[in-house]
Structure 1
Amino acid sequence: MTITTHRTAEEIGRTPLGPRPLPDLGDTRSVPLPDVVDRVLGSGLRVLAVHRPSVPMVELRLRVPFADPDPAPDATPGHPAVAELLSSTLLTGTASRDRVTIDDELAAVGADLGVSVDPERLVVGGSGLASGLPELLAVLGDVLGAASHPDTEVARERERLVDRIAVARAQPRSIAREALQRKRFGDHPITREMPRAEDVSAVTAEQVRALQAAALVPRGAILTLVGDIDPDAAIARVEEALGGWASGTEAHRLSAPPALAPGDLLLVHRPGSVQSQLRLTAPALPRHDPRYAALQLANLVFGGYFSSRWMENIREDKGYTYGAHSGPEFVPGGAVLGVETDVASDVTAAALLETRYELGRMTAVPPTAAEIDAARAYAVGSLLISLDTQGGLASTLSALAAEGLDVEWLRGSPGRLQAVTAEQVAAAALEFFAPSRFTGVVVGDVDVIGPGVRALGGVTGP
């Protein structure tokens, strides 16, 4: 009889000469993705359909350009207020379905739909059983073509939205975001991410319905379907279900904001705050730029993931913050780089000093080969994970399509990351992380943080 004994993982991983060496990770040169059927319907709606049968579900993403057609700063009530109420009441009823009927029909096929809006786009997202796609599309087509935005529903959502805005505007992160956007882009419509409560209070149901008729149109919109579907059959169902959604006008696209200019940080007073929000920003590159992969790796080395230089400094070494992050934000016509962290008031100046130090170190001490290899492995691995689900793939394809990129660009991302040299990463670090390229805001109690922050120089404000 042979007697076997249990060995621990540590015992299995060791030999008489020491630990077993781990094999090197192989290079991932492309992402294994299914084909995308890409078709523009007669209405002008572009449909992307993908067969991804990992689970018997389908993910849906509808992206409609939804910029303010009249972006005058003194427009009353503002477009953001009407747009927010439109998104809140889009699923509350049509001529043939009330709110309960819509909810029941979606629930019957295990589906859900949600609506969001920002200065650039309106997005309808959701999922459901693949077998229920016809029912899901029937509801979607009805609300897109005939949402009634009942007076009672608009009134109810208007009251809720006013309350939510009051709460949101008191949050430090909201204050910092609004201040950063205005510092970057002035009065451009891209800064109007949250409507004013007084504008929301002035919106009528008639204005919501008028905006739907004028701006929620298919020409220029992108519908993405990913799941256990036949792409050609799914597109045929889209054409049938959304046939009543038509318009002769093009969806309103947001104009490119002004170029980001470097300059002093703006100190924003938030009385009584025990924390400060540091938000630095500089120009970056859009995804289609040949240097984007090098910038992507340089950003990871600086502050794009947990093992970055900046995180190691102000979190692990100094203990100034629980988290810090840097990364690109894509805007019409380009991209900006964001550098953000929240710290206690008494270490605000010290955290800003270390942040500037790490930016400078990126230009003076280029990323090492080991840092680049670790960032490369993280970038490829996180990309593969993000695309592993139907929802992740649907969201990514929708965002890329809006930028004029397709699945082939996505497939080639690992290869581009693997091909980047240390010299290219160093060049990107030198160009995009130089402290002189940045501007931004510091939000906090000026009476507490002002003297220390001002002493560092390059800061204006109260």
Structure 2
Amino acid sequence: MTELDRKTPPQFNGVENINLIHPERQTLVNGTKLFVFNSGEQDLVRIEFIFSNLRFDPAKPLMNVAVNTLLNDGTTTMTAAQIADKIDFYGAFLQFDYGYDNSQVTLYTLTKHLNATLPVVKEVLTDSIFPEKELATYKRNQQQKLQVSLQKNDFVARRLFNEAVFGDTIYGKAAQPEDFQSLNREDMLQHFKQMYQPANCTIVIAGKAGAEVIAAVTNTFEDDWNNTTAKGDTNQPEVKSAEERFIYKEKAGALQSAIRIGTPFVKRSHPDFPALQVLNTVLGGYFGSRLMSNIREDKGYTYGIGSGMASFKNAGSFFIASEVGADVCKAALTEVEKEINQLKADLIPDEELSLVRNFMLGSLLGSLENVMSHADKFKNIYFSGLGYDYYERYAETVKNITAQDLKALANKYYDFDNFYKVVVGKY
């Protein structure tokens, strides 16, 4: 038996190609855009119905999320329980998700049950009635849930940061407990009719989606699903950030302080975005990052700290977030500033940069485990107005970016003095 050589690490084989599945595309007669990812052996499909949110109204900040959440609470012919029973009977699953830019309804089902499950989804998307009883329950439960969350420092810090960076927009203005009481059924029905219609819908199918699956979807959602009213305005107000850069909310007796630091930032469509993702990973984007090594491992100020980049349709942000001991809050901020300034002053060592490259490329490959994850990658670029060349540029950037490039980016984009700094707790 050959003895293992435990002193020499195994050779790393770099990622050469990222092979992404491209969808079949078509536009239905009613204006619905359809994208189909047909792959896999299991007779399972995921069908996503994605709708652009209507223009945000600061006087009614909950409208988009409340309408999406209550879609399955009843139609003219079915109660919420009957909707759930019909979907459950076929072993299917119906999911409702709200995002800043889009809201969606997702059906997971076996292909053999499509003709039974799709009509239920169609009724939800065309005939939801938002019953008063369910609306009252939603308002009461969500109001209580929000009041509990507002006692958590990290939750409050995130809200204050978003409000400072994104202003009075869908990304920045968070609901208050009293906003739930202003929700009413008539407003929600009008919002629903303007938003949930074919001209504002993108359908993404992923799974074993052959001709019979496409036919089932088009037969259900093309022939008699019509744009019955003018599509609502989906343009969002311009982002105006706050002038005040330091926001402090004291919590007497707090043992920990939540900190959130960052700035308005470039979106995914910006040419520098992939390179800035590399820089962000070095700083705080994975467990071996500089922020984790310094503030968690070396100083012991926190259990965890990280940085990230948020990209939306009309805005973006860069942020650093953590909860630290209240007695070391100022020291933690000093260390964050030190790490930012070091990226601006010194070149990242080759060994560290190589580790980050391998982590990022490995993460990209690992995120492509099935056809549904390929569809998710497509949505990232499609709703950002990009093509598949984005991922080619991303991989090439990760492989080839130099320490000099990253230092230049840090000096261009990381200005700690002008970052927004939010502290909730003790400072």
For normalisation by structure 2, the TM-score amounts to 0.91
Aligned pairs (5 A) from 1:387-398? 387-398=368-379
Q: Distance in 1 between matches of 2:40 and 2:392?
A: 19
Q: Distance in 1 between matches of 2:117 and 2:252?
A: 49
1:24 equivalent among 8, 12, 23: 12
Aligned: 1:238 with 2:238: no
CA contact (8 A) 1:380 1:414 kept: yes
Aligned pairs (5 A) from 1:297-376? 297-376=278-357
2:177 corresponds to = 197
- Relative distance call for 1:353 and 1:12 in structure 2 (3 A) is same
Aligned pairs (5 A) from 1:58-457? 58-68=45-55, 71=57, 73=58, 75=59, 78-80=60-62, 82-193=63-174, 195-230=175-210, 232-243=211-222, 244-247=224-227, 249-255=230-236, 257-258=238-239, 264-410=245-391, 413-445=394-426, 449=427
Please report how far the alpha carbon of residue 149 of structure 1 lies from its aligned counterpart in structure 2 after TM superposition.
1.8
Deviates more, 1:260-269 or 1:37-46: 260-269
1:36 corresponds to = 23
RMSD between superposed Cα atoms in Å? 2.5
- Relative distance call for 1:254 and 1:383 in structure 2 (3 A) is farther
- Relative distance call for 1:371 and 1:133 in structure 2 (3 A) is farther
CA contact (8 A) 1:61 1:394 kept: no
- Relative distance call for 1:33 and 1:396 in structure 2 (3 A) is closer
Q: Distance in 2 between matches of 1:107 and 1:114?
A: 12
Post-superposition CA distance 1:264-323 (Å, at most 9, x none):
322122233221111111243322332222111111111111111111000110111111
Please report how far the alpha carbon of residue 205 of structure 1 lies from its aligned counterpart in structure 2 after TM superposition.
2.4
Q: Distance in 1 between matches of 2:9 and 2:100?
A: 52
Q: Secondary structure at the match of 2:171?
A: helix
Please report how far the alpha carbon of residue 363 of structure 1 lies from its aligned counterpart in structure 2 after TM superposition.
0.3
2:4 corresponds to = 13
Please report how far the alpha carbon of residue 125 of structure 1 lies from its aligned counterpart in structure 2 after TM superposition.
2.9
- Relative distance call for 1:154 and 1:382 in structure 2 (3 A) is same
Q: Distance in 1 between matches of 2:117 and 2:370?
A: 20
Please report how far the alpha carbon of residue 111 of structure 1 lies from its aligned counterpart in structure 2 after TM superposition.
1.6
1:48 corresponds to = 35
Q: Extract unaligned runs of 5+ from structure 2.
A: none
1:454 corresponds to = none
Q: Secondary structure at the match of 1:219?
A: helix
Q: Distance in 2 between matches of 1:144 and 1:314?
A: 48
Please report how far the alpha carbon of residue 351 of structure 1 lies from its aligned counterpart in structure 2 after TM superposition.
0.5
- Relative distance call for 1:416 and 1:62 in structure 2 (3 A) is farther
Deviates more, 1:315-324 or 1:41-50: 41-50
Q: Distance in 1 between matches of 2:139 and 2:241?
A: 35
Q: Secondary structure at the match of 2:303?
A: coil
Paired residue total: 425
- Relative distance call for 1:124 and 1:263 in structure 2 (3 A) is same
Q: Secondary structure at the match of 2:319?
A: strand
CA contact (8 A) 1:31 1:384 kept: yes
Q: Distance in 2 between matches of 1:12 and 1:41?
A: 64
Q: Distance in 1 between matches of 2:377 and 2:70?
A: 26
Residue identity in the other structure for 2:422: V
Residue identity in the other structure for 1:239: T
Q: Secondary structure at the match of 2:318?
A: strand
Q: Distance in 2 between matches of 1:413 and 1:251?
A: 35
Please report how far the alpha carbon of residue 165 of structure 1 lies from its aligned counterpart in structure 2 after TM superposition.
1.9
Residue identity in the other structure for 1:238: V
CA contact (8 A) 1:114 1:126 kept: yes
Post-superposition CA distance 1:327-348 (Å, at most 9, x none):
1101333421111111010110
Q: Secondary structure at the match of 2:288?
A: coil
1:4 corresponds to = none
CA contact (8 A) 1:61 1:395 kept: no
Q: Distance in 1 between matches of 2:248 and 2:108?
A: 43
Q: Distance in 1 between matches of 2:4 and 2:400?
A: 33
Q: Secondary structure at the match of 1:273?
A: coil
- Relative distance call for 1:140 and 1:411 in structure 2 (3 A) is farther
Q: Distance in 1 between matches of 2:111 and 2:17?
A: 28
Please report how far the alpha carbon of residue 443 of structure 1 lies from its aligned counterpart in structure 2 after TM superposition.
1.2
Please report how far the alpha carbon of residue 262 of structure 1 lies from its aligned counterpart in structure 2 after TM superposition.
8.1
Aligned identity (percent) is: 24
Q: Distance in 1 between matches of 2:416 and 2:61?
A: 36
For normalisation by structure 1, the TM-score amounts to 0.84
Please report how far the alpha carbon of residue 233 of structure 1 lies from its aligned counterpart in structure 2 after TM superposition.
4.3
